[in-house]
Amino acid sequence: MILHKTLSIPGLGSEGMEIPYFEIVGEKEGPTLTLVAGVHGAEYASIAAVREFATSINPAEVSGKIVAVPILNLASFWARSAFVVPVDGKNLNRTFPGNAEGSFTEILAHHIFQTFIKGSDFLVDLHAGDIPEALEPFAMFEESAVEAGSLLLAKAYGLKHVVRQSSAVRTVAGSTCAAAADIGIPAIIAESGQNGILTSESIAIHVAGLTNLARSVGVLSGEAIVHSQVVVHEGWNWLRAHSAGWWTPLIQTGNRVQAGEIVGTLHTILGELIEEIRTPEAGVVLFQTSSPAVSVDGILMGIAR
């Protein structure tokens, strides 16, 4: 049976929040797989993929339970807001496990963590490149006591690039998958799609990843494919702008760069060169800001080692 359920957070904001989600309970015993999307409300390919995957499941093929939440961050979704929650300007994926006494985003993270993340056996948080972000599909997981399990999930998703983040250099603190891994739940962030554009290809990449991952953990019947072409990267370099400016990337996502290579430039609005941006280390460009408008300390490019 595919149930339509709602997480109600009555005290959140002026009107409260109601987050709709699917719960698919199998006829046999098995693990709980939780799928969430819309942590960033304009990453539409990942949101559409969760809905498409959940509604296509035959409950007779499920052992255990699949919980699937298409949009966690409805405030950003309705505002078409990239990265941050418009109410308090915070990035939801930097605030887990949340704080019941905190700001709007912190309270939201607290309820999501308590309701959806705790009690799961496996967590997949689906993302895509946001409105100003070009992106090559990849999966990411955190160093933790359960990282071997997270790596298996990442490989099962079948994307070419997987990034392991060590605890010492967490570029993204407070993410869903870091908070889950910290309480012993194998978890990944999976990214496909870019610039907030809804393409059938980027949705299909997510749906294929979810199907194979669900099979690999035994929650969905069918034989899982073993992907052998996966490259595991050890961490990142996230390049940032030292000053605001007009950003021009010189490398396409998915391409390899060498240490010291110029990967883009920053100019003033009138076209004077401010800075040539070089990468400190070699790696593969997995995402980059595609909008020319970059503020001080704004992210320019994510280069996996």
CA distance readout (Å), 249 to 16, 82, 302: 41, 20, 12
Which of 24, 177 has the CB closer to Zn ion?
177
Is 206 one of the binding residues for Zn ion (CB under 5 A)? no
Is 40 one of the binding residues for Zn ion (CB under 5 A)? yes
* Shortest reach from residue 138's CB to Zn ion, in Å: 12
- Residues 41-60, interacting with Zn ion (CB under 5 A): 43
* Shortest reach from residue 93's CB to Zn ion, in Å: 6
* Shortest reach from residue 83's CB to Zn ion, in Å: 7
Question: What x/- string results for residues 117 through 136 when contact with Zn ion is judged by CB under 5 A?
Answer: ----------x---------
Which of 111, 127 has the CB closer to Zn ion?
127
Q: Is 62 left (phi over 0), alpha (psi -120 to 50) or beta?
A: beta
Count of residues of this chain found to bind Zn ion when the rule CB under 5 A is applied: 3
Stretch binding Zn ion (CB under 5 A), from 38-46, 95-103, 115-123, 265-273? 38-46
* Shortest reach from residue 128's CB to Zn ion, in Å: 7
* Shortest reach from residue 127's CB to Zn ion, in Å: 3
* Interacting residues toward Zn ion by CB under 5 A: 40, 43, 127
